[in-house]
């Protein structure tokens, strides 16, 4: 699968999924707009790889919840690299709090980072894609758009909002050759700490609740992003693709595959 002459916009290049997606799509020949809260300092290995491959790259640090900043950055990026062909929205903010005790500020912050930014990026790149009658928008979402965490309800709410944003965008932008899909990711190593709960036992022995008892990785995610970015996925639009190894199908502890 080749992505030569394609411009990929990764909304959070610093996190694990952003770095893995960048490396995998770089191997396919893509150019990049990398939004990096660290200003690129956490991307030394990835940027070295991109330079070695001679791939055009623009590192930015923009608040994507502000439409004016996002639009100005994309206008500049279009001058430097060209219009965005593939949006990989992977921004994620998790605040541990229940419905009973969550304060307003972290709830609003969850919606700002995870959902409002998704809307603004979709609207901005959607205009570019409509003009060219082609494009891919891929939201890195979570299994918790479907399944409560028992610990971080605002995260689930925000990912549920992105799920419906994707479907609304799919029917509108789909008329202009743009495919819009979500990847519902999880569980990965460390998620038992991120979603630690005194209420839910979902993440107790979670690695064995995957039928084959093997957790996924950011590299597994990157492979799926590559496929959805390619022409091979031209007929996939408005889909929620669950990348969880079968985790949410679990229902019998005594049947778990243990060492």
pLDDT value of position 191: 92
Average pLDDT, the chain: 96
Res 255 pLDDT > 80 = no
Strands 7-10 and 31-35: parallel
Q: pLDDT band at residue 257, thresholds of 50, 70 and 90?
A: confident
Mean pLDDT confidence for 93-103: 91
> Does residue 225 form part of some domain?
yes
List the CATH number of the domain containing 142: 3.40.50.720
Distance between start and end Cα atoms, the chain: 37
> Does residue 172 form part of some domain?
yes
226, two tokens: 């590559």
Instruction: Write the CA distances from 186 to 135, 141, 183, 244, 246, integer angstroms.
Output: 26, 9, 10, 5, 10
> Does residue 1 form part of some domain?
no
SS3 214: coil
Res 128 pLDDT > 80 = yes
pLDDT value of position 207: 95
Residue range of the domain that includes 111: 7-255
Q: pLDDT band at residue 256, thresholds of 50, 70 and 90?
A: confident
* 184, β-bridge pairs: 141, 242
Express each pLDDT in 20-41 by its tens digit.
Answer: 999 999 999 999 999 999 999 9
> Does residue 2 form part of some domain?
no
Q: What does the alpha-carbon distance between residue 104 and residue 47 come to, in Å, rounded to a whole number?
A: 38
* pTM, two decimal places: 0.96
């Amino acid at each position: 699968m080749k992505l030569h002459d394609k411009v990929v916009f990764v909304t959070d290049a610093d996190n694990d999924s952003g770095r893995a997606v960048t490396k995998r799509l770089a191997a396919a020949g893509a150019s990049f707009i990398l939004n990096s809260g660290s200003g690129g300092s956490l991307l030394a290995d990835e940027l070295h790889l991109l330079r070695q491959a001679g791939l055009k790259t623009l590192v930015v640090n923009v608040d994507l919840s502000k439409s004016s900043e996002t639009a100005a950055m994309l206008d500049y990026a279009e001058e430097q690299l060209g219009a965005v062909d593939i949006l990989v929205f992977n921004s994620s903010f998790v605040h541990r709090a229940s419905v009973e005790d969550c304060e307003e500020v972290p709830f609003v912050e969850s919606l700002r980072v995870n959902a409002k930014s998704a809307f603004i990026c979709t609207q901005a790149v959607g205009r570019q894609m409509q003009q060219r009658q082609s494009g891919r928008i891929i939201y890195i979402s979570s299994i918790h758009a479907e399944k409560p965490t028992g610990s971080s309800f605002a995260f689930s709410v925000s990912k549920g909002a992105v799920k419906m944003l994707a479907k609304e965008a799919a029917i509108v932008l789909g008329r202009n050759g743009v495919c819009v899909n979500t990847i519902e990711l999880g569980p990965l190593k460390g998620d038992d700490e991120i979603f630690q709960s005194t209420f839910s036992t979902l993440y107790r022995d979670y690695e064995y609740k995957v039928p084959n008892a093997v957790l996924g990785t950011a590299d597994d995610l990157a492979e799926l992003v590559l496929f959805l970015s390619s022409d091979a996925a031209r007929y996939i639009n408005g889909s929620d693709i669950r990348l969880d190894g079968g985790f949410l199908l679990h229902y019998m502890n005594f049947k778990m595959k243990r060492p």
